[in-house]
Amino acid sequence: MPHDHSHKGHTHTHTHIDPEAGDARVVWAIAVNMFLTLAQVVGGIFSGSLALIADALHNFSDAIALVIAFFARKIARRPADPRMSFGYGRAEVVAALVNYTTLIVLSVYLFYEGVMRFFEPEPINGWIVIWIAALALIVDLITAALTYTMAKESMNIRAAFLHNVADALGSIAVIVAGSAVILFNWTWVDPTVTIMISVYILWHVKSEIGETIRVLMLAAPPGLDPEEVASTIESMPGVADVHHVHLWSMQEREFALTAHLVIAAPAWSEAEGVRSGVRQALSDQFGIRHATLEIEQEDRACVGSSRFGHGEG
């Protein structure tokens, strides 16, 4: 699911997860996916279809993804405390990483099983496959509808939503595999579909996991250019220089910055005003709400400091 990273114009509205919104929807989505997983596993065993079991595993990972997402949302709402001074918002990012990692393991396993099936084909009951995959498709579409609006706000729910989109496509592929068995007795379509599902999952994870890792690694937000932010600070009246700049995402869409401001000698008496002006500019232009700015006199500033990070320049 493409989501726009271009923060052009930098008009950021600060979006906290609406506390109770969506909890009931997530619970329903979990219940439906658990039921579906059971139906698909039973169907897969009785029909001999590996693709159906692949889809079941994917659906089960969906349900687990939603369980993780649900509890992570609960944890993320907890207020900051002395031990967790930044709050618990990152629980959602950690959950997304756990989620994607699980998907990678499942995909590799399914790929292996699919390849083995080519060497040892098994008879398949196509009608069972089609009926259960059709049921799965309906459930996938319902779950996707339940989580779609929430996916725009939360990296973690987006991971769960992506599972569902992939599932829906998987179910369509399984219906095709079942039809191939009935019409042409092509049992090889089943492991082929299994391999396709696993590759598709891996491709999706690859495109999404990077953002999650960047947040956990305290990287600068993808839509903000650190150099542009630093230059904007330097262009403010009364600022002679800026160094030791750290720019990162506390969690998705919540940016933070720390920096040392060197106040020009003539403006030293107005240092506090300069600092609050910089803070306002960061908020207005870049959506950076958490800014910690240390002020230094021009003739006593750190010597040889690096512009970004804490190394020597």
CATH of residue 244: 3.30.70.1350
Flag whether 311 is in a domain.
no
Flag whether 233 is in a domain.
yes
Mean pLDDT of the chain: 84
Last residue of a domain, one of 197, 216, 235: 216
Asked if 148 and 96 sit in the same domain, the reply is yes
Flag whether 100 is in a domain.
yes
**Residue given tokens 């709400």 in the structure block:** 289
Last residue of a domain, one of 148, 182, 216: 216
148-192 pLDDT, tens digit per residue, is 777 777 776 777 777 777 778 888 889 999 999 999 999 899 999
Asked if 101 and 15 sit in the same domain, the reply is yes
* 308 against 66, higher pLDDT: 308
Structure confidence at residue 86 (pLDDT): 86
Asked if 146 and 179 sit in the same domain, the reply is yes
Q: What angle do CA 287, 10, 257 make, to 5 degrees?
A: 35
Asked if 150 and 265 sit in the same domain, the reply is no
Query: Is the separation of the CB atoms in 94 and 251 below 8 Å?
Result: no
pLDDT band at residue 21 under the 50/70/90 scheme: low
**In this prediction, what percent of the chain has a pLDDT beyond 70?**
91
Last residue of a domain, one of 188, 216, 244: 216
Flag whether 179 is in a domain.
yes
Query: Is the separation of the CB atoms in 117 and 191 below 8 Å?
Result: yes
Asked if 43 and 111 sit in the same domain, the reply is yes
Asked if 113 and 234 sit in the same domain, the reply is no
Cα end-to-end span (Å), the chain: 41
Asked if 206 and 241 sit in the same domain, the reply is no
Return all residues near 301 (Cβ < 8 A) that are at least 6 apart.
240, 241, 243, 260, 262
What is the CATH number for 150?
1.20.1510.10
Q: In this predicted structure, which of 54-63, 235-244, 297-306 has the lowest mean pLDDT?
A: 54-63
CB atoms within 10 A of CB 167: 26
Asked if 47 and 150 sit in the same domain, the reply is yes
Return all residues near 136 (Cβ < 8 A) that are at least 6 apart.
36, 39, 40, 55, 59, 167, 171, 174
Flag whether 115 is in a domain.
yes
Flag whether 255 is in a domain.
yes
User: Which residues span the domain enclosing 241?
Assistant: 226-300
CA distance 207 to 220: 18
Total number of residues shown for the chain:
313
Structure confidence at residue 8 (pLDDT): 33
Flag whether 306 is in a domain.
no
The DSSP line for 32-76 is HHHHHHHHHHHHHHHHT-HHHHHHHHHHHHHHHHHHHHHHHHHHH
In this structure, what token pair is assigned to residue 164?
Answer: 């569902």
Flag whether 309 is in a domain.
no
Asked if 149 and 202 sit in the same domain, the reply is yes
66 pLDDT higher than 80: no
| CA of residue 128 relative to chain centroid, distance | 35
Count of domains forming the chain: 2
CB atoms within 10 A of CB 68: 21
Asked if 212 and 235 sit in the same domain, the reply is no
| CA of residue 285 relative to chain centroid, distance | 25
Asked if 65 and 150 sit in the same domain, the reply is yes
pLDDT band at residue 197 under the 50/70/90 scheme: confident
Asked if 205 and 104 sit in the same domain, the reply is yes
